[in-house]
Structure 1
């Protein structure tokens, strides 16, 4: 339930000249994304949606689940481990005011303790790594967050292309 944030990011990346593909977390979208990424078919990947726990019926086809604090900590450690192993430029953008439509203040999945467990595990797991950690005082669905995450991806792609181009010219 991050559609507004994803839409803002998609719009900004399109404005920057990228052809954007959106993969949904429901169904086999994640496996398809990983398969295409392993083939080197993307200039970059912007993933704004981590799965939740605590069951909630989103629609007749999708049930949303909110993670507990312990599960968030485990998820943060797992994400950090994957990012530490990345061979290209990587960054994590943390929206400190909520991670999904249901996770903002006053919403049913608002759980600052669980979110903080995720963020702390990410911070700890990425300490000393090449992965940049950027924190934003926004909700994930705030258009400003989607644009900022898109700008960060664009910056990394542009810097990587410039470095790769210089390497070939030398």
Structure 2
């Protein structure tokens, strides 16, 4: 039997039969399994870990969970479950079963686990938009087809498939070779592609380059890997998600952008990639108060808006404040010749005054030390010489890391 266990999570008061069925199949595959009951009302049969035990992990204690108000109780149990799972050292994988409420309860705890830990959520809502549940994690979601309201000829098949899939993931984890190159996370957007492509080519022989599309979730995924200890460094060429957060675009980061860098102290090389733009959908979706701005139709589904000097000053201050929280080695490069393919002489978003406001705000805000430095580079971001400058700073940091 595997030394690691599958934690089977759900509400035993409403889904006890389904949870027990999944546990039975998992055990038959030679994998240890335990049922974690996250019921917030009556306690159901078959639990290995009872609701009161999970609720004990809530910062305010079990009384914060068992409130009698369904919405509040589910939200509180979600917090307790996250902390409970993080306290375990024998998790081989987590298999959750839930309707809409159970899915909302279980998914946050799964997202908090490290990338690579098997996570499978059988859900009645898995055929709709799953982005709010999956987020930046590697959760697999399986549609239950029928409601999870007792075992039937369909649910038996779906749940058996889920149990076998989880057992397979736990029993056959991928093995990382000792000779594997260290991983480096790199952020890219269409208008910063030339810069990133050169970096990847130059680093290919020595590093495993993980490139993330800077569309909100991309940055979150990169930082999730940083928090999980799965990257050795970050080359954050494209910080454009900050523009969308502050100006209401469709590809925003969260307020925790740069948080993983601060928490881990990872070597960090960043830049101003695509801080000249905010992303919206089709032209007719641009908010009315932005309609008279400098807009560029990137494609029929994406419209870009040029940031102003005032907005760039706000962006620079926001980034600078978060860089100040980073105690590891930080180098943030300022491309004086332009921050994207559209920010060049003769191009749609060329605006030296806006760029100057961004750079001045960063230099005014960032508290520079031997570890944390801003570096002006007299080239555009997509100029090969800027890629070379990023690479030089990366090598300098890694030599001393």
1:33 partnered with 2:222: yes
Match of 1:4 in 2: 194
Match of 2:383 in 1: 142
Contact 1:8 1:143 in 2 (8 A): yes
Distance in 2 between residues matched to 1:147 and 1:12, nearest whole Å: 9
Match of 2:341 in 1: 101
User: Quick one: higher RCO (CA 8 Å, sep 6+), 1 or 2?
Assistant: 1
Distance in 2 between residues matched to 1:150 and 1:63, nearest whole Å: 32
Contact 2:296 2:348 in 1 (8 A): no
1:13 partnered with 2:203: yes
Contact 2:324 2:367 in 1 (8 A): no
**Larger of the two Rg values belongs to structure:** 2
How many aligned positions are there?
Answer: 159
* TM-score where L is the length of structure 1: 0.86
Deviation digits for residues 135-170 of structure 1 (CA, Å, limit 9, x no counterpart): 11111001111121022112112211xxxxxxxxxx
Match of 2:69 in 1: none
Match of 1:156 in 2: 397
Deviates more, 1:124-133 or 1:114-123: 124-133
Distance in 1 between residues matched to 2:360 and 2:216, nearest whole Å: 29
1:55 partnered with 2:292: no
- Call closer, same or farther: CA 1:125–1:27 in 2, change over 3 Å: closer
- Call closer, same or farther: CA 1:156–1:40 in 2, change over 3 Å: same
Structure 1: any 5+ residue segments left out of the alignment?
161-170
The structure with the largest strand share of the pair is 2
Contact 1:4 1:141 in 2 (8 A): yes
Distance in 2 between residues matched to 1:42 and 1:25, nearest whole Å: 17
Deviates more, 1:76-85 or 1:123-132: 123-132
What is the deviation of 1:87?
Answer: 2.5
Structure 2: any 5+ residue segments left out of the alignment?
1-190, 241-276, 279-293
* TM-score where L is the length of structure 2: 0.38
Match of 1:163 in 2: none
The CA RMSD measured in Å over matched residues stands at 1.6
- Call closer, same or farther: CA 1:62–1:147 in 2, change over 3 Å: farther
Deviation digits for residues 15-44 of structure 1 (CA, Å, limit 9, x no counterpart): 4x1111110112521111121122232211
